[in-house]
Amino acid sequence: MTAHARRWKSTSGETAGDELISRPLLPGEVKAALRLALQSENYDGAFLLARLASSDRAGICAALSDIGELKAKVHIALAIDLATLERLDGSLPVTEGVGLVLDGVNVATPLSAFILDSIEALRFEAAFTSSASRNLRIDAALRAMLSLAHDLALSTFASEAVPSAYLLSPCPVFDYVLQEDAAPIVIRGPKIQSKVDSDLKTSRRSN
């Protein structure tokens, strides 16, 4: 079995993390999807991000509990949409090594969503960051959101690298941006790896 991931690189250049490339996962699917990546020996990211389908409090609690059972050594970040966040209604059970990322942040996202203590990061919508490079008012909104995120110590992800021809200098700075030019990372499960190894050995013997 293999899975694919894309790499998010820290703009400070210190760390990187990966995101599983998949359709939004249902809460019941998260554990199996993450297990493959976590068992892979070639995994070296600081965190692993997975996108959840729209859900509710029970779904998120179930996903957190399932992930907790994995006892992952890397931090797991679950990206959820605003509708899911609004359904959480209060604090979630503390699960060591797991956090929530508010996904799809755009100009219409209420700032009140940022101050909920359930989330640890924000991922900005690509169309939003792109239009901020061309429109002063949207740029102002983005900068205000980033300032609030920094005050609250929330990590920030930009779905696309900020265009080089940005309207105002300095450009808004996000904590993590996609490595646009990088090919997707192929994550192989341990069983497949050993099969590949054994195939290689067989091939060497026959040569």
Partner 1 sequence: MLALPERPYSTTAEREELLPFRVRLATGTQDVERAVEIRASAYARHLPHVGEALQKAEKEDFRPDVLLLIAERKLDRRPIGSMRLEPNFIGPLRVEGETTLPERFRNKRLVETTRLGVDNGIAGTLVMAALVKASFEICSACDIDYGIAVGRRSVGEMFRSLCFDVIEGPVRMSYSLRTLFWVFAIPTLEWEARLRERHHFYFDFMARTDHPDIDIDYGHVFDAFGMR
Strand pairing of 47-51 and 16-20? parallel
Query: Does residue 120 bind partner 1 (CB under 8 A)?
Result: yes
**By C-beta, is 150 or 201 nearer to partner 1?**
150
Does position 206 interact with partner 1 (CB under 8 A)? The reply is: no
Number of H helices, E strands in the chain: 7, 9
* Span of 50-58, 78-86, 91-99, 198-206 interacting with partner 1 by CB under 8 A: 91-99
Nearer to partner 1, 17 or 189 (CB): 17
Stretch that binds partner 1, among 29-37, 119-127, 158-166, 190-198 (CB under 8 A): 119-127
Tokens of 170: 């300095």
The answer to whether 172 contacts partner 1 (rule: CB under 8 A) is no
Q: Does 155 bind partner 1 (CB under 8 A)?
A: yes
- When binding is defined by CB under 8 A, the residue of 154, 158, 177, 187 that contacts partner 1 is 154
- Name residues contacting partner 1, limited to 68-87 (CB under 8 A): 75, 77
Q: Token pair of 132, please? A: 């901020």
- Beta strand segments in 81-166, E: 98-105, 119-124, 155-158
> Residue 144 to residues 5, 111, 149, 202: CA-CA distances in angstroms?
31, 10, 9, 60
Q: Give the position of tokens 């059972």.
A: 69
d(CA 4, CA 186): 5
Which residues of the chain form contacts with partner 1 (CB under 8 A)?
A: 10, 12, 14-15, 17, 46-47, 75, 77, 91-92, 94, 99, 117-121, 150-155
